[in-house]
Chain A
Amino acid sequence: METIGFLMDGFAVALTPYNLMFALFGAFVGTLIGCLPGLGPANGVAILIPLAFTLGLPPETAMILLTSVYAGAMYGGRISSILLNIPGDEPAMMTCLDGYPMAQQGRAADALAISAIASFAGSLIGTIGLIMLAPVLARFALTFGPAEYFALFLLAFATLGGITGKNPMKTVIAATLGIMISTVGIDISTGTQRYTGGVLELYEGIDFILAIVGLFAISELLFFVEARMGKGRSKVKVGKLTLSFKEIVSTIPTQLRGGVLGFIAGVLPGAGASLGSFISYTLEKSVLGKKGRFGEGDIRGVVAPEAGNNGAASGALVPMLTLGVPGSGTTAVLLAMLISLNITPGPLMFTQNADIVWGVIAALLIGNVLLLVLNIPMIGVFVRLLSVPPMYLLPIVTMVAFVGIYSISHSTFDLYFMIVFGVGGYILRKLDIPMVPIILGLLLGPEMEKNLGHALILSDGDWTTLWSSPLAIGLWLVAGLGLVLPPLFGPLLRRRMRSAIKEGPVSD
């Protein structure tokens, strides 16, 4: 029961007024980020990182802020799904299926309220799962040697494309590019200058924060410029809340199923929140069968995917916190924050930085309560902000990104670098090269090289050490599957997801 003790300590950290204030702020901003067009969760968290730095926040506060933003973004994604039939972020896609028909039947307020409750339930289940699973996994991860870590990093890259990924070769290329960028600078173990070209600013390597902000924020701006989607969306009426208590109770089984399934999907490498909401929606549909009116505005069709994707969001924190290996773009950005706070992610964090880990977990619980409170009465505010046109929003977001990067080092050199990353990111995204593996490569590259070095020194230069233990072999196998399975099953799953959406009567 030491976990309970740790959790109490975590609450003591998270409940200080200072941290609580940042959790509230994070939850609010996160919901905004989730519902505004052109600001995905990873993007939003990335822009906030330099700001958290310049504010000089202590590590636990910085992490609490970003975790609340992360949780908030998952709530926010549903708002535009329900009101406009446009998912705010990818995991909210399935919420369109029944959410929008509900809105068309004049039950928008009900859909928003019940989805907020479902998000809360999913997140709560996911966080409880996280509390139970993370310490166990962390203890297990302590048995990992350098060779196992090396294999684990490979597994992370191989499964990052996800089961629905299109071209695994492009994931490999993206990851390699990211790791290559991370090798610029002075080599830690030998002191050799690598790829610096004698430029002083490059000696310390390329700051991954400016790379992340460039790749996400600047390339997003360029995409909007190209698509000329500057015009806003028309205002939407929400209407009155008619949700009855009986209706809420009737969705409880759905909430439980969705949350648990979502959590499992979040923990597993390569699944993620999108798949979490998809699985829980399909399961719900097959469990209830003909009793439901799925696709025509069934309330459980809103509950299942929302519980699923919020459960998955908490689940995705498990590998990030215990192994230092994130499974999604947003958790990768959270990892970036940890690394820049000089905290080594991984199993040791649970003993060395227990206050931060448990503070974050407690903040996740508190953040969810705050989010539920924010999301029901204040939904009108978010709905109004939904109609802010991107043509005003994106330039301002870009400016905030500039300010953040500039205030880290007060040098314009970093700004040029960020623009270069933005343009590069735009071109690569156009060519279907995913951004997340690049970022993960940037973050994990140095660790990967370090572990490779340690493993080979321990074995006196014998390369077979990398796959000599059963655990390492297992990890290699899963990594191999992660690359081989998507081309086989990906098209099938993608077709199912697409046809599920097309079946909806609203796809005009």
Chain B
Amino acid sequence: MTGMGDRILGLCLLVLAVAYGWVAQQWPEPFGGAEGVGPETFPTMLAIVLVVGSLYLMIKPDADARWPVGKSALELVISIIVLVVYALLLEPLGFIISTTLAVGVLSWRMGAPPKGSFVTGLVSAVVVFGLFNYGLSLSLPNGLLGGF
């Protein structure tokens, strides 16, 4: 069946719209009594628009996009993991080490030779760190290299 992507998206959006609209109805009436517009008025309108939109997507989906499979998908997942780990390690390891690793791995996975990748990572990390900490006196985390 064609248009599976849009149909699945439509279904997800429908669930989202209903949940979003339902939550809006649960808020207590604001202090001072009901006026023309409460906190729930606008969200309710949005929920209705999204319900209509999601139904349209499910009924008249566009042709499917080509989704990455196999190795491309794996590379994507690796990249996302690298980004999350980068955010995770930024403070404990410090900016220079974590950036060298993150930029290095990303360039390497995008096809650069490993040595060039990590050198790029290190150079860019040191340049940006120097620029921010000494040029602009904004502190990026030192981490393990805290002695400097």
A412 to B140, alpha carbons, bound, how many Å? 12
What would be 6 A-B contacts, judged by CB atoms less than 8 Å apart? Answer: A167-B62, A191-B30, A194-B24, A222-B80, A394-B110, A406-B140
Which 4 interchain pairs have the tightest Cβ spacing? Answer: A461-B36, A230-B111, A395-B106, A391-B110
Number of residues on chain A facing chain B (CB within 8 A): 62
Residues of chain A with a CB closer than 8 A to B54's CB = 173
Q: Cβ of A128 < 8 Å from any Cβ of B?
A: no
Contact of B91 among A55, A218, A412 (CB under 8 A): A412
B53 touches A194 (CB 8 A): no
Q: Cβ of A132 < 8 Å from any Cβ of B?
A: no
A54 touches B110 (CB 8 A): no
B103 touches A395 (CB 8 A): yes
Quick one: closest B residue to A195, CB to CB? B23
| A-contact bits for B63-77, CB 8 A (1 contact / 0 none) | 001011000100110
Residues of chain B with a CB closer than 8 A to A231's CB = 111
Q: Cβ of A137 < 8 Å from any Cβ of B?
A: no
A183 touches B42 (CB 8 A): yes
Report if A392-B112 is in contact (Cβ < 8 Å); known contacts: A222-B79, A225-B76.
Answer: yes
**Interface set, chain A 440-459, CB cutoff 8 A to B:** 448-449, 452-453, 456-457, 459
Q: Cβ of A45 < 8 Å from any Cβ of B?
A: no
Residues of chain A with a CB closer than 8 A to B90's CB = 402, 406, 412, 415
**Interface set, chain B 105-141, CB cutoff 8 A to A:** 106-107, 109-112, 116-117, 120-121, 124-125, 128, 132, 136, 138, 140
**Interface set, chain A 364-407, CB cutoff 8 A to B:** 389-392, 394-396, 398-400, 402-403, 406-407
A422 touches B110 (CB 8 A): no
Query: Taking the nearest CB of chain A, how far is it from the CB of B132, in angstroms?
Result: 7
| A-contact bits for B20-54, CB 8 A (1 contact / 0 none) | 10011001101100011111011100100110011
Q: Cβ of B97 < 8 Å from any Cβ of A?
A: no
Report if A396-B43 is in contact (Cβ < 8 Å); known contacts: A192-B27, A431-B9.
Answer: no
Question: Secondary structure at chain B's binding surface: helix, strand, loop or mixed?
Answer: helix
A391 to B108, alpha carbons, bound, how many Å? 8
B132 touches A403 (CB 8 A): yes
Quick one: closest B residue to A423, CB to CB? B80
Q: Interface size for chain B: under 10, 10 to 19, 20 to 34, or 35 or more residues?
A: 35 or more
**Interface set, chain B 74-99, CB cutoff 8 A to A:** 75-76, 79-80, 83-84, 86-88, 90-91, 95, 99
List residues of A whose CB falls within 8 A of some B CB.
54-55, 166-167, 169-170, 172-173, 176-177, 179-180, 183, 187, 189-192, 194-195, 218, 221-222, 224-226, 228, 230-231, 389-392, 394-396, 398-400, 402-403, 406-407, 412, 415-416, 419, 422-423, 430-433, 448-449, 452-453, 456-457, 459-461
B109 touches A225 (CB 8 A): yes
Query: Taking the nearest CB of chain B, how far is it from the CB of A357, in angstroms?
Result: 28
Contact of B111 among A228, A407, A423, A430 (CB under 8 A): A228
A228 to B36, alpha carbons, bound, how many Å? 54
B124 touches A391 (CB 8 A): no
Query: Taking the nearest CB of chain A, how far is it from the CB of B117, in angstroms?
Result: 8
A457 to B24, alpha carbons, bound, how many Å? 20
B37 touches A452 (CB 8 A): yes
A416 touches B87 (CB 8 A): yes
A415 to B13, alpha carbons, bound, how many Å? 25
Residues of chain B with a CB closer than 8 A to A422's CB = 83
A195 to B75, alpha carbons, bound, how many Å? 34
A189 to B30, alpha carbons, bound, how many Å? 10
A392 touches B87 (CB 8 A): no
B75 touches A176 (CB 8 A): no
B65 touches A432 (CB 8 A): yes
A407 touches B140 (CB 8 A): yes
A187 touches B107 (CB 8 A): no
Residues of chain A with a CB closer than 8 A to B53's CB = 169, 172-173, 176
Q: Cβ of B143 < 8 Å from any Cβ of A?
A: no
Residues of chain A with a CB closer than 8 A to B68's CB = 226
Apart from the given pairs A173-B57, A187-B39, A190-B39, 11 other A-B contacts in the complex at a CB distance below 8 Å? A166-B62, A176-B53, A179-B46, A226-B75, A391-B110, A398-B103, A398-B106, A407-B140, A433-B9, A461-B35, A461-B37
B124 touches A430 (CB 8 A): no
A430 touches B67 (CB 8 A): yes
Residues of chain A with a CB closer than 8 A to B57's CB = 169-170, 173
Residues of chain B with a CB closer than 8 A to A192's CB = 27-28, 30, 39
Quick one: closest A residue to B87, CB to CB? A415
Residues of chain B with a CB closer than 8 A to A225's CB = 72, 75-76, 79, 109-110
